[in-house]
């Protein structure tokens, strides 16, 4: 039988409910994660969008930052959208003084790269490795982009329109993946299916 993963959604801030619904549609069980003991119960984690500096401070306040780093280092699959992409980056630009990340993906992410809230936009993005070749209609809200990636990072998608066409907006490194956009805000759940399948493969490898 195909394993049913239990995927946590970091519930400190952001579109938690929307990610939960998309993950359940992708065949996963879900758990809202706010405490270290809840983190230990899940097979993988989604880090939603929100405000990356607030998320970092709340993770510190809830004693989650170090446990998150340890689970990532131990091989737990994780997916971050928008602010979640920033949280999974090893390096950030234009961050608040002293801002910390969980890290794990060998990339440099520029915070608010596409502009402020008023500069939010939608655009088609072609995502490598998804179920079909149809472009993904992506929603960008105060979105970051990836400035640079390491040799082990696979670029899954780039912005295709506007003055910032070509900017990296989706990446994967092993069991970690991130997007600059918000797939939970669309009816297209290919990104969540892709991540759920990644988690199932990781579980099979550990059996």
Q: Where are the domains of the chain?
A: 6-206
Task: Let me know if 204 is a catalytic residue.
Answer: no
Return the DSSP state at 155.
E
Burial of 205 (0-12, 13-18, 19+ CB in 10 A): exposed
Specify the pLDDT at position 11.
96
CATH class of the region 6-206 = alpha beta
Catalytic residue among 18, 184, 192, 193: 184
CA-based nearest residue to 48, from 202, 191, 190, 154: 191
Q: How far is CA 7 from CA 38, 52, 112, 129, 136, in A?
A: 11, 21, 27, 21, 23
Return the DSSP state at 120.
-
Is residue 9 pLDDT above 90, yes or no? yes
> Looking at residues 186-191, what average pLDDT do you find?
91
Task: Let me know if 147 is a catalytic residue.
Answer: no
Cβ(94)–Cβ(110) below 8 Å: yes
Specify the pLDDT at position 118.
47
Catalytic residue among 19, 182, 189, 193: 182
Catalytic residue among 37, 40, 51, 82: 82
3-state secondary structure of 60: helix
Task: Let me know if 160 is a catalytic residue.
Answer: no
Q: Round the average pLDDT of the chain to a whole number and report it.
A: 91
Q: How far is CA 80 from CA 24, 62, 88, 120, in A?
A: 17, 19, 7, 18
Least confident of 7-11, 96-100, 186-190: 96-100
Other Cβ atoms within 10 Å of 99 Cβ, number: 14
Specify the pLDDT at position 116.
65
């Amino acid at each position: 039988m195909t394993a049913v993963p239990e995927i946590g959604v970091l519930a400190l801030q952001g579109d938690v409910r929307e990610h939960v619904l998309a993950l359940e549609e992708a065949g996963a069980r879900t758990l809202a994660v706010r405490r270290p003991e809840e983190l230990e119960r899940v097979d993988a984690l989604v880090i939603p969008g929100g405000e990356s500096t607030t998320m970092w401070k709340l993770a510190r306040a809830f004693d989650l930052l170090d446990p998150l780093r340890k689970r990532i280092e131990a091989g737990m699959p994780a997916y971050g959208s928008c602010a979640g992409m920033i949280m999974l980056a090893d390096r950030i630009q234009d961050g608040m003084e002293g801002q910390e990340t969980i890290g794990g993906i060998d990339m440099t992410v520029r915070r608010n790269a596409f502009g402020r809230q008023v500069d939010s936009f939608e655009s088609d993005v072609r995502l490598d490795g998804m179920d079909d070749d149809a472009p993904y209609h992506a929603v960008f809200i105060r979105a970051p982009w990836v400035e640079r990636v390491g040799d082990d990072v696979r670029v899954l998608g780039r912005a295709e329109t506007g003055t910032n066409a070509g900017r990296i907006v989706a990446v994967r490194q092993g069991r970690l993946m991130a997007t600059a956009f918000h797939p939970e805000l669309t009816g297209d759940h290919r990104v969540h299916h892709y991540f759920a399948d990644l988690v199932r493969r990781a579980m099979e490898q550990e059996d």
